[in-house]
Amino acid sequence: MSIQDSHILVIDDAPENIRELLLALRAQPWRITLATTAEQGYHRAQALVPDLILLDVRMPGMDGFALCRLLQELPRARATPILFLTSASSAEERLEGLNHGAVDYILKSCDPAEIIARVQIHLRLSRRGDAPDAAADVAPNRDEAMLRAAMRLIGRQLSAPFTLEEIAAGVGTYDKRLSAIFRQQLGMTVFAWIREERLRKSRELLADTSLGMQEIAENIGFRSACNFTTAFRERLGVTPSEYRKAARQGAVEASASRAR
């Protein structure tokens, strides 16, 4: 299929502010679908599987970043290029968008012809990749998508001092609902899962790196090496140093066994 047959989903809560862009898009040989809320955009992306999404950043309720994280958890939408549209030119905001899966970040003040050119580029680039097998993975329900998105968000910033409200807002929900999702899906609270994930990551760092205890503690969000050591010993029954020694001894023995 050529890019002329492409389907573009535009998600913007104030389409009157991008009227010229919408006219320019509709002048192309593309199918254009408009969603005016993040919720509507989520459902249309899931149902229609567009070839490209133009996504507003600042929307009420759920912002574009949160919606992008949810879309990344949908097998059928995961490979869809997402281009953020924004009226703000903050470098911090641009980097946040790119770090969460967008392929481009475009100011709404850009000439519509430039935006069309960027859309064409990303459509061509996406055509070069293998088409995703829609049947290869069952689409998660909304709670599962939020759970996966929250876990991925936390995992990218394990050292960050998250609040429950910040995590929930980051995946387009509120604190009580996110807490209920973690309890129903995993049988533990959000912060119990964060603690388990930090300790899991610490085991990787102990086995695979030469980082000191303070460095590991800082990498995974503990205030000090002492706090990290106490939590590790309480959970695993050994100190981090003892775990590292055993892990390295096991690696040496496994290597020697393969060499025989």
The answer to whether residue 135 is domain-embedded is no
- Domain span at residue 173 reads 141-187
pLDDT, tens digit (0-9, with 9 covering 90-100), for 107-142: 888 899 999 998 998 888 877 654 444 444 566 788
CATH of the domain at 203: 1.10.10.60
Provide the number of structural domains found in the chain.
3
198 and 224 belong to one structural domain: yes
232 and 250 belong to one structural domain: yes
Number of Cβ within a 10 Å radius of residue 76: 19
**Of 128, 151, 166, the domain-final residue:** 128
pLDDT (0 to 100) of residue 52: 95
The answer to whether residue 113 is domain-embedded is yes
Average pLDDT of span 137-149: 82
pLDDT (0 to 100) of residue 47: 87
16 and 70 belong to one structural domain: yes
| Least confident stretch, 1-10, 22-31, 142-151 | 1-10
| pTM listed for this prediction | 0.72
26 and 64 belong to one structural domain: yes
256 and 205 belong to one structural domain: yes
163 and 202 belong to one structural domain: no
Q: What is the distance between the alpha carbons of residues 216 and 222, in angstroms, rounded to a whole number?
A: 8
40 and 123 belong to one structural domain: yes
pLDDT at 260 over 90: no
- Residue 251: DSSP 8-state: H
pLDDT, tens digit (0-9, with 9 covering 90-100), for 51-95: 999 999 889 989 999 999 999 888 877 788 999 988 876 777 667
Q: What is the distance between the alpha carbons of residues 175 and 19, in angstroms, rounded to a whole number?
A: 36
Determine contact, residues 102/84, Cβ cutoff 8 Å. yes
pLDDT, tens digit (0-9, with 9 covering 90-100), for 20-59: 999 999 999 999 999 999 999 999 998 888 999 999 988 9
